Amino acid sequence: MKPILKIDNLRKIYHTPKEEILALDNFSYTLQEGEFVSIVGPSGCGKSTILSILSDLMKPSDGTIELQEGKKIGYMLQQDCLFDFRTILDNCLLGLEIKKELTEENKAYVIHLLETYGLKDFMYHYPENLSGGMRQRVALIRTLATKPDILLLDEPFSALDYQTRLAVSDDVYHILKKEKKSAIMVTHDLAEAISMSDKVIVLTGRPGKIKNIYTIELSNKSNPIENRKAKEFSTYYDMLWKDIDFHV
């Protein structure tokens, strides 16, 4: 693997009429090509702020971001944000329309993704006809449509029930690995982070600083559901839980 993204000393200060709030401080990380990284930490520690800065929705107060030349970033939001009046295919083409990149070649690529990942029969249906898990799969394909090299995932499964969440996390992991994408995921679910990630970054409470970075090494690592059965899984879970200290 080689570096695809270098983040150096990111800092974010929010300004209010009464005060300055330091939300994120001295965040540095080098993302390798093909790597899946999760960021965990207490509520309000700046996890989503990091994704907003990386996607250029927000400017950092300090620090630098160096993206490998020619590489692109895609952002998958917490909610699927599908438009009810557009078909599944048209929802997936939305980003290409906005970027004025809707060519026949790109449209064919999106149709290929829908066919490959079990949505062929629903292309001309509307979101109301889909389950929550299928909607998230559509949201992922919409993000992949613009051919990003790095996917930013902000609590992508939080709106789903537990059983669906497990199945969709498996789907998303499989799709990202097959499409050879790098990913940074923000989650509150420690089991999700361990089962999907190559590395897990633990942030402190606000201001968010890196407390620990764990390299996840599981026996017979395969997919997120099976990874939860690995003998090392509970050890990682206990270490992450103690690091975050949810009771504070």
**Which residues, at least 6 apart from 111, have a Cβ–Cβ distance to it below 8 Å?**
89, 123
Name the burial class of residue 10, with classes exposed (0-12), middle (13-18) and buried (19+) by CB atoms within 10 angstroms of its CB.
Answer: buried
Give percent above pLDDT 90 in the chain.
55
Chain segment 200-219, per-residue pLDDT in tens: 999 998 899 999 999 999 99
Distance CA 189, CA 49 (A): 18
Average pLDDT for 39-63: 90
Least Cα distance to 8 among 33, 26, 24 occurs for 26
The pLDDT confidence band at residue 77, using thresholds 50, 70 and 90, is confident
Mean pLDDT computed over every residue of the chain:
90
Average pLDDT for 8-36: 92
User: For residue 1, is pLDDT > 70?
Assistant: no
Chain segment 128-137, per-residue pLDDT in tens: 988 888 888 8
Distance CA 93, CA 103 (A): 10
Residue-level pLDDT at 246:
55
Q: Is the whole model's pTM more than 0.85, yes or no? A: yes
User: For residue 20, is pLDDT > 70?
Assistant: yes
